[in-house]
Structure formats: C-alpha cells, structure tokens
Amino acid sequence: MASAPATVPWYYHPVTVVVLCIVFFPVGLYLLWRSPRCSITARIIGTAVLALVVVSTMGRDPGSGRSTGQRTSAPAVPSDMVVSPAELVRAYETNEIAADQQYKGKLVRVVDAQVDTIGKDIMGNAYITLRSQHPIRSVQCTLRRSSVQRAASLVPGSIVTVRGEVDGLMMNVLIDDAEILTN
C-alpha cells in the first residue's frame, strides 16, 4: 500500500518564512531554522542578514533615521545666549512656538537668577527652580551630576548663573543638563 506524500505545513513555506522574518523576525528566524525546506546554507545566510539588519538599526531614532547620539537641534553656536529667568518665561508666555524656535535645543546662560526651590524630581534627578516674576511659572533646571554638590550648598534666595539646554515649556520653562556656574 502506497502512502501519500507528506505535506509540509503552510508556515514552513519559504514565502511565509521570509514574510515573517521581515514582519516579526523572532518567529521568522525560528521558522527558518525549523523548516525542513530550508538548507543549512539558507539558514546561515538568513540569520546573518537578519543580524546585520538588527545591528544596523540599533541606536537609531525611528522618526528621523539619525543615530540617537546625534543632536537633532540646530548646531551649537560659539557662545551661549544670555537671558534672565524673566525673559525666558515671558517669551514662552507670549508665544510658545516662537520661543521654542528661538531657544529650544540651544544652550543658554541664565544670569542673575534667584533660586526659588532646590529638590529632586520623581526620577531622582536634582533640580533647582529660578524665580521669574511670573506668579506661577519659573525656570526649572535639571542639573548635571557635576553640579549636584553645588546645589547642596544653595538656599532659596541665592543668586546664581546657570548654563544648560532649553527643553521647552511644561508648566515651567525646562532647562536640561544644567550646570551651576556661580553661587
């Protein structure tokens, strides 16, 4: 009695394996190695190609295609913009879009700033806020590690100069990677 030829399940079909390697590579890679229709050479080449694709896309910003290590803001200018906390808050209060175009992603030096609060955010990052003459808004500076010790010696009312990168408005005007230059 002759037996019927064994049929291979649909998910081992080469087209299915290739599509799954593209759409959902862990499953595609598994099926590539389990498929009785794929030779050892095809398995090795397929695995090498997938590995190259995965490695080449690591560390990339999906929106821009740039490496996440690259700055997406305008190139750094030779000198920082010098502003007061009141000027920064006023600019964002007047027109947030124009203020973002002028300041966001750029280094600023905030001068003659009076410290309002000193603390840590919910992620444990040290920050200081600077008074701005606005009844609610202030300038919140998230400090780099090298300035944490200086912040520990501050008290509300201290006058400081801070340098950092403006990150826009979220209740307060935010400055990241801030360094306390004087106190």
**Is the C-alpha dihedral spanning 95, 101, 102, 105 positive or negative?**
positive
Over range 14-22, report the average pLDDT: 79
Question: Average pLDDT over the chain, rounded to whole?
Answer: 83
My answer on whether 88 and 45 are in the same domain is no
* DSSP string over 86-102: HHHHHHHHH-HHHHHHH
pLDDT of res. 6: 67
My answer on whether 88 and 51 are in the same domain is no
Over range 115-127, report the average pLDDT: 91
Closest by CA to 151, choosing from 116, 178, 118, is: 118
pLDDT of res. 72: 47
Domain that holds residue 27: 10-57
At 64, is the pLDDT very low, low, confident or very high (cuts 50, 70, 90)? very low
The residue with greater pLDDT, 37 or 158, is 158
pLDDT of res. 17: 79
Closest by CA to 48, choosing from 60, 64, 35, 32, is: 32
My answer on whether 175 and 87 are in the same domain is yes
Say if residue 88's pLDDT is above 50: yes
My answer on whether 87 and 166 are in the same domain is yes
For 137-170, write each residue's pLDDT tens digit.
Answer: 999 999 999 999 999 999 999 999 999 999 999 9
**pTM as predicted:** 0.57
Q: Which residues pair with 113 in a beta bridge?
A: 160
The CATH number assigned to the domain holding 148 equals: 2.40.50.140
How many structural domains does the chain have?
A: 2
User: Terminal CA-to-CA distance of the chain, rounded, Å?
Assistant: 96
Per-residue burial over 7-42, b = 16 or more CB atoms within 10 Å of its CB, e = otherwise: eeeeeeeeeebeebbeeeeeebbebbeebeebeeee
